[in-house]
Amino acid sequence: MSDRSTSSRRGRFAKADWIMIGLAGLRQEGPDALTIERLTATARRTRGSFYHHFASHEDFVRAMADSWLQQSTVGPIAEMQQAADMRRVRASLAEFAATLDHRLERQMRRLGEINTHAHAVVQQSDALRIAMLVQMFQGEFALLPDEALKRAQLQHAAFVGMQVVFPEASPEFRRELDLYLAGKLWVG
C-alpha cells in the first residue's frame, strides 16, 4: 500500500503528500504557490504538520525538486535504458517527451531562477537527459563523442525551446515536430 493512501486513511499527511501538493501548486501557479501559508491552506493542515516533515521551507523545496528529478528524469531514463533495441528506446523517449507535463517543466525552470537547489536540480536533469541522448547517438550511429554531444545538445535545446515557444501544444503537435527533427538529427 502506498504511503499516500496510508496517510490519508489516518488523516495525517505524509512527506509525499506535501510534495504532491507543492508540485501541483508549482504547476498551476508557479513558485508563488510554494509559500508555507499557501501550502498549509491548500492542504488544510497546520504549520506544525508541515514542519513535522520538513525542517525548513528550503528543506521542502529541496525534497520537492528532488522528487521532480526522480519522476521526470532519473526514473524514466532508467526504464528506457532497459530496452535492448535502440529504436524502442528512441520511440519511448519520443512518447515520453511528447506527453511529459511541460507546464511543470517550465515552472520548475522558473523555480530554478530563484532557488539555488532547484537550479542545480534542473541542470542535473538537463545533463542526464543530454547524456542519455549522447549514449543513444553513439550507440545507434557510432558517432564520435563531439558529434554525438552536439546533436544531443541540439535535440534537448529544441525540446526545452518547444516548451517555451509552444506552451499549450498538444502531444500530437510535439510528436510531429519531434519526428521532423529526428529526420534531421537521427541520421548516420
68 and 5 housed in the same domain: no
**Which pLDDT value is given to residue 22?**
98
**Which pLDDT value is given to residue 91?**
85
**Which pLDDT value is given to residue 6?**
39
**Which pLDDT value is given to residue 127?**
98
**Which pLDDT value is given to residue 11?**
66
CA 123 to chain centre: 11
Burial grade of 141 (CB within 10 A; 0-12, 13-18, 19 or more): middle
**Which pLDDT value is given to residue 5?**
38
Residue 127 CA: distances (Å) to CA of 50, 77, 124: 32, 12, 5
Q: Is the pLDDT of residue 51 over 80?
A: yes
pLDDT tens by residue, 53-91: 999 999 999 999 999 999 999 999 999 888 878 778 888
78 and 98 housed in the same domain: yes
pLDDT tens by residue, 99-153: 999 999 999 999 999 999 999 999 999 999 999 999 999 988 989 999 999 999 9
Using CA atoms, how far apart are residues 169 and 66, in angstroms rounded to an integer?
26
50 and 62 housed in the same domain: no
94 and 111 housed in the same domain: yes
**Which pLDDT value is given to residue 132?**
94
CATH of the domain at 19: 1.10.10.60
The model carries a pTM of: 0.90
Give the least confident one: 44-58, 85-99, 173-187.
85-99
Q: Domain total for the chain?
A: 2
pLDDT tens by residue, 8-41: 445 678 999 999 999 999 999 999 999 999 999 9
16 and 67 housed in the same domain: no
> Which residue range(s) make up the domain with 104?
56-185
70 and 24 housed in the same domain: no
CA 45 to chain centre: 27
Of 12, 30, 54, the position where a domain reaches its end is 54
158 and 102 housed in the same domain: yes
77 and 2 housed in the same domain: no
**142: amino acid identity, one letter:** A
28 and 87 housed in the same domain: no
Using CA atoms, how far apart are residues 161 and 62, in angstroms rounded to an integer?
25
